[in-house]
Chains A and B, each alone.
Chain A
Amino acid sequence: MKSWKISGSPHKGQAAGGATGGIAARSSSADGNFDAMSKQQAAAISGPRKQHSALQGYSPLRYMPPSRSASNDSNALLKQSRRSSHSNNRPTGGANAGHSASTTSFTTDGSGKYFQDLDEDWSAVIDDYNMPIPVYLNGGSAGTADSLSRASTHSYPQLPNLTGTGSGSRGTPGPAVVPETRTPTEIAQERDVQELNSMMARITKFNALLSSKHILNVKELRQLSWNGIPKPNRPKVWKLLIGYLPANTKRHESFLQRKRKEYRDGITHTFDEQNHQRDIPTWHQIEIDLPRTNPSIPLYQFKSVQHSLQKILYLWAIRHPASGYVQGINDLVTPFYQIFLTEYLPASQIDEVANRDPAMYMSEEQTVQLEADTFWCLTKLLEQITDNYIHGQPGILKQVKNLSQLVKRIDADLYDHFTNEHVEFIQFAFRWMNCLLMREFEMDVVIRMWDTYLAETSQDSSVGGATTGASAGADLSAPTTPAQRTVSTFQTPPSKIRTEATVGASPSSPLSVRSFSATTAVTKTTASGAGSDDASGTRQSSSLNEFHVFVCAAFLIKWSDQLCGMDFQEIITFLQNPPTKDWRESDIEMLLSEAYIWQSLYKDATSHWL
């Protein structure tokens, strides 16, 4: 494993052992740099760690305690973190990292604690607060006093399956050490049970949130959704997250009626040859692109589906002349279409959606509803990334540039290698931006990714650039994107960060910039009062595009070791066909968490690079 130059770590290479990464980081003195974090991160994803976890019947992705609960027992900490809006308990990695940081800030000696905590919390937890499962400290991370005490004070609901099945010791919440003598079958069973339980718990949470009789708490929904949305809830939640459905549930029905009628009228008008001169080139372009959209998924070969998508894309294109139809938008429409389609299938057949012809089970009326919902959600999504598709595609060029600048700072070795090989970022990253990485992953992974992406969308229309104004004002709650992360993640005393910056390999380390903004941010938040959710000060820079760049960075850096051993041709070929065929949800969750961490670290610095 290569070293991470960003902070010129004194414990270079210690984490190289994969499974031992956490321990190495823990034992090293915490000088406050993020070097070990990146290593751990790499260690956590690498094979050995996974293998290790499996052996122990412990999945780092599943069974860690929610960080919110984790801080519950640490009384003062909780208040502190609340004050910094930390209690919003954002996506796993970040929230946990944030927690760690805050721990550090109140532990004056600091040493050891930082990484200890970091390791325990962030290593791979994807589902945090949705996982009401007690921690089992058998995951290879020997229980530190800190984690023991946290584990023992959890107040999760006791899950019958856990206490009732299997051997006793493992059913008890708390620091039970599971004997290593369990058979693989037992381990697998237990894992299944726990997964099922956590899934049920998630569904319960979503159902509870969604069943609100009045105004939905979209903010909480965003936080919850970041870590994945249960299949049955997905259509509705996506519509809420993207800002299509209003938060006021009482208005849902009338709202949908209105929007569906609007769409129907739009279609009628557009396809009425007397009123509308058909834009032949656009129509033709869409027509030739649809048969080759997701060619490996049977759903998209059905004529009924192509017909629906053609209407949606054409209507969008002529209503947005500044952009018009651009290849790639045909990719972006499909997750919406496919997910909303599941609303018209019985729950037991949801998984069959990709193989069945909608014409066989949908009425004409339902088809229009589906098209309308898809159209409006696509419209909402594209509003946020308009610059990607207008003339010259400035949004994409900017993102590619940001990506290169980011990689230059996160992984200088890789960046230098690219420079030496004359690899330019635009040669491989253009598509990543243009299709939001959809071409890089299988559809089920993309859909999971979109749970997070839609949770990252901002409903502040000013963020998205040019908007059509259509359907504006529908949202009562204007939920905040969880952009407070910057605040919550940088509780480390500024002096510490500065030290780190001077240690850093790069003299122009963005860390120094960050220390300043972190300080101001903390002050600001503190001034605004404890428990304040006011994020208006930090929000405007948050957007889907920005987060996406960090995801791309994490994706690229994932292959860093391999890429550094390749020449130009091998690099480009590899990046055009990255080995992601076998990726599962847990892999993309890991990637998203990594991206979140990078964003927490570099968010404020990015604006200074360009």
Chain B
Amino acid sequence: MLQFKLVLLGDSSVGKSSIVHRFVKDTFDELRESTIGAAFLSQTIKVESEDQQEVVIKFEIWDTAGQERYKSLAPMYYRNANAALVVYDVTQEDSLNKAKAWVEELKNKVGDEDLVIFLVGNKVDLCEGSDNEDKRAVAATLAKQYAEDQGLMFDEVSAKTGHGVKEVFQAIGQRLYDTKKEELATRQRGNGNDGQVDINVPRPSTNDTTGCCS
């Protein structure tokens, strides 16, 4: 089994926790208490290797708090992340700006060249149907263009209906597998393991100061 660490970032109330809960538990609560600090969840998926074999991937997910005051905690959680889900609310224009700021920060602060950043526009259910089109504040094309410019993955989802949520994680899993497999192959040859390779052999530390994990 491969383990990857994933972090969710984004403005307050854009639906980070709801996306995770949709992915992990396949549930949705209209009213979910604000996240304080960060919340941890995990989920496994299966991806396909090039020889059509199923590979199990486990996501360790840190769902961070969105409010500005908690921003100083975020590095703890994204520092060793393999992937970041940067979420905005398609009905709140400013939330895309916040998302862009997170992307900037990730690019500046995370050394990992292979960090997968996925830009996610949430709450598309709110602007479905011709009656609600005016509720959309961020055009999909605009966000998509930005994502392409920055080399990010991009999609729009609805945590409420579940639309697109699983696909986002699936795509991240596949991308991580594809980028890591060479590294894996090398390691596998090295230790003659039976395929039970854990990329993050030591658990990624979330503590900035100690960096206890070797």
Binding site for B on A (CB under 8 A): 285, 288-289, 291-293, 295, 324, 326-328, 330, 389, 391-393, 421-422, 424, 426-427, 430-431, 434-435, 439, 568-569, 572-573, 576
Cα A288 to Cα B67 in complex, Å, equals: 11
Contact B33 A292 (CB under 8 A): yes
Contact A430 B37 (CB under 8 A): yes
Identify which of A288, A289, A291, A389 gathers the most chain B CB atoms within 10 Å of its CB. A288
Identify which of B12, B29, B69 gathers the most chain A CB atoms within 10 Å of its CB. B69
Asked whether any CB of chain A lies closer than 8 Å to the CB of B213, the reply is yes
Contact A422 B32 (CB under 8 A): no
Taking A426-B206, A439-B36, A569-B60 as known contacts, 12 extra A-B pairs with beta carbons closer than 8 A to each other, sorted by chain A number, are A285-B67, A288-B12, A288-B13, A292-B31, A292-B33, A295-B31, A327-B36, A327-B70, A389-B69, A422-B205, A426-B73, A576-B40
Please judge, given known A-B contacts A327-B65, A327-B69, whether A573 and B31 are in contact too, CB under 8 Å. no
Cα A569 to Cα B200 in complex, Å, equals: 14
17 contacts between A and B (CB under 8 A): A285-B12, A285-B67, A288-B13, A292-B31, A324-B69, A327-B65, A330-B34, A421-B203, A422-B202, A422-B205, A422-B212, A424-B206, A426-B206, A427-B37, A430-B37, A431-B37, A573-B41
Asked whether any CB of chain A lies closer than 8 Å to the CB of B76, the reply is yes
Residue in chain B with minimal CB distance to A568: B203
Please judge, given known A-B contacts A288-B12, A288-B13, A422-B205, whether A431 and B32 are in contact too, CB under 8 Å. no
Contact B69 A576 (CB under 8 A): no
Question: How far, in Å, is B130 (CB) from chain A's closest CB?
Answer: 27
Cα A392 to Cα B36 in complex, Å, equals: 14
Binding site for A on B (CB under 8 A): 12-13, 29, 31-34, 36-42, 60, 65, 67, 69-70, 72-73, 76, 202-203, 205-207, 212-213
Q: Which residues of A contact B205 (CB under 8 A)?
A: 422, 424
Q: Which residues of B contact A327 (CB under 8 A)?
A: 12, 34, 36, 65, 67, 69-70
Contact A326 B72 (CB under 8 A): no
Question: How far, in Å, is B214 (CB) from chain A's closest CB?
Answer: 11
Question: How far, in Å, is B63 (CB) from chain A's closest CB?
Answer: 10
Contact of A291 among B31, B60, B70 (CB under 8 A): B31
Cα A392 to Cα B39 in complex, Å, equals: 19
Please judge, given known A-B contacts A326-B67, A327-B69, whether A426 and B207 are in contact too, CB under 8 Å. yes
Cα A54 to Cα B115 in complex, Å, equals: 58
Contact of A427 among B40, B41, B42 (CB under 8 A): B40
Q: Which residues of A contact B69 (CB under 8 A)?
A: 324, 326-327, 389, 391, 393
Q: Which residues of B contact A568 (CB under 8 A)?
A: 203
Please judge, given known A-B contacts A327-B65, A424-B207, A568-B203, whether A576 and B39 are in contact too, CB under 8 Å. yes
Residue in chain B with minimal CB distance to A575: B40
Cα A568 to Cα B204 in complex, Å, equals: 11
Residue in chain A with minimal CB distance to B73: A430
